[in-house]
Amino acid sequence: MSELVDFKIALVEGYAIEELMKLDYPELEYVLVKDTEQGLRTIQNEQADVFIGSLIGTSYVMRENGYSGIIVAGDTPYTTEIHLATDKDSEELRNILDKSLDALDQEALNLVFGKWRSVKIQRVF
């Protein structure tokens, strides 16, 4: 990440990635945005050089809003797991979700995640 020292980096304010990046890379310059869409707009408007966000969320916003001039250019050292949440009183729903997820094999999971990770990664750094 130190290769980004000469670039402005957009991060969604209040997300875990903001705290992690500022702790691990205090020397970098950050532009805080309210959401992923604004982060992508800061790149288009040249207010920032890089946006760092989740691949699934960023891919979705790029696809839904036609951000064709932006590429996914690399990885960070951080990973995110995706979880489901239900109301604590929804035991029946939790059981249904657990059984449904347990029934999916790796190929089915890849198809589901492939839909949301639809952008091509073009490694730049």
Model pLDDT, residue 121: 54
Tokens of 112: 């589901």
Of the options 1.10.760.10, 1.20.120.1770, 3.40.190.10, 3.40.50.1370, the CATH number for the domain spanning 2-116: 3.40.190.10
Nearest residue to 48 (alpha-carbon basis) of 2, 75, 11: 11
pLDDT-derived band at 125, boundaries 50, 70, 90: low
Q: What is the DSSP letter of 35?
A: S
> Which tens digit of pLDDT belongs to each residue from 49-107?
999 998 888 888 988 888 888 888 878 888 877 778 889 899 999 999 889 888 888 88
Task: Answer yes or no: are the C-beta atoms of 28 and 21 closer than 8 Å.
Answer: yes
